[in-house]
Amino acid sequence: MNRRKYTAEQVEYFNMIVPGNSHAKIAEMFNERFPDIPMTVAQVKSTISNRGLRTGRSGYYKKGHEPFNKGKRMRDYVSVDAMSRMEKTMFKPGCPPVNHRQIGSVRINSEGYEYIKVAEPNVWIASHWFIWERANGPVPKNHVVVFADGDKQNITLDNLILVSRAQHAVMCRMGLYSSSADLTRSGLALADLTIAVSAKQGAYASQKERYARLKAAGMCVSCGQRPSVIKTNGKHAIYCETCRVRYKKDA
């Protein structure tokens, strides 16, 4: 083996007991067989590594493994003396942990928002949401409550504004939030206008795409039916035979 002088018998025995056994068990078995030259667990570990041996143990429980204490109470496998010592430090029924916080307690998170505990065992809600909901009811879906002056510690109802997530996105993108509550509310009006313009442009773009698609197919832009073609005033005009809507083919 490594550095220490071992006989061929000892080497052979060591190699034989390595597979399937833990380092502690290998040391125990080797020392029982050769008490004159004992090995520590650390020596067993290094010898296995140096000689390129493998125990074949993964360190994981195999599927279906049954723990020794399955179906047993602690008193069934712990001595009376050990049990009496452990009972002194055990939690008693109804004993709260030392870090337990009462309902109504507040804390500040890493982003500077204040939270209040509203229920057990550990239910917290942002204080500004709590105050707004207490006055107005639940916050609607896809909405958030923001601070008019941007001060996260100014948690008063007058300083709280309910905004949709769409408004909030525009406000953030355009930098419309301000330390002035009046400017923030003015920014919210501008965000509403921006959203309305964007929606109008989107609707116009969609209608324009639809017009172009139906025009290319020779269809009526109103109902999608194929109209008759009539030559009028030297230009081609298309009349829908169903709804009689006219549009210029070359427009």
**Rounded Cα gap, residues 53 and 14, in angstroms:** 10
Contacts of 243 (CB under 8 A, 6+ apart): 220, 222, 223, 225
Whether 114 maps to a domain, the answer reads yes
Peptide bond into 67 cis (omega under 30): no
pLDDT at 175 over 80: yes
Rounded Cα–Cα distance for residues 212 and 126 (Å)? 50
DSSP secondary structure string, 98-131? TT---TT-EEE-TTS-EEEEEETTTEEEEHHHHH
In a domain, 208, yes or no: no
Q: pLDDT confidence of 88, banded at 50, 70, 90? A: confident
Residue 94 lies in a domain: no
Q: Is the residue at 160 inside a domain?
A: yes
Whether 125 and 163 share a structural domain: yes
Burial class (CB in 10 A: 0-12, 13-18, 19+), 137: exposed
pLDDT on residue 189: 93
Q: Report the chain's mean pLDDT, rounded to a whole number.
A: 83
Query: Residue 215 — very low, low, confident or very high, per pLDDT cuts 50/70/90?
Result: low
Query: Tell me, what's the pLDDT at 250?
Result: 39
Residue 4 pLDDT more than 80? no
Query: Are both 230 and 158 inside the same structural domain?
Result: no
Q: Does 114 lie in the same domain as 183?
A: yes
Does the structure show a pLDDT above 80 at 65?
Answer: yes
pLDDT band at 241 (very low <50, low <70, confident <90, very high): low
Q: Tell me: do 115 and 188 sit in the same domain.
A: yes
* Enclosing domain of residue 241: 217-248
CATH number (domain holding residue 150):
3.90.75
**pLDDT grade for 54, boundaries at 50, 70 and 90:** confident
Residue 75: inside a domain:
no
Q: What is the mean pLDDT of residues 163-188?
A: 92
Q: Which of 192, 209, 232 is the last residue of a domain?
A: 192
Q: How many domains does the chain have?
A: 3
SS3 state of residue 248: strand
Are 111 and 176 contained in the same domain?
yes
Residue 199 reports pLDDT greater than 90: no
Q: Quick one: 155 exposed, middle or buried, by C-beta within 10 A (0-12, 13-18, 19+)?
A: buried
Shared domain check, 223 and 170: no
Total-model pTM? 0.50
Mean pLDDT of 213-237: 57
In a domain, 233, yes or no: yes
Compute how many other C-beta atoms are within 10 angstroms of the C-beta atom of residue 236: 11
Residue 221 lies in a domain: yes
Q: What is the pLDDT of residue 200?
A: 78
Percentage of the chain modeled with pLDDT above 70: 80
Mean pLDDT of all residues in 229-233 = 44
- Per the model's pLDDT, the better-predicted residue between 234 and 139 turns out to be 139
Say if residue 111 is in the same domain as residue 188.
Answer: yes
Domain assignment present for 13: yes
What confidence score (pLDDT) does residue 57 get?
A: 80
Q: Where are the beta strands (DSSP E) in the chain?
A: 106-108, 114-119, 123-126, 143-147, 160-164, 228-232, 235-239, 246-248
Q: What is the mean pLDDT of residues 217-237?
A: 54
Is the pLDDT at 82 greater than 50? The verdict is yes
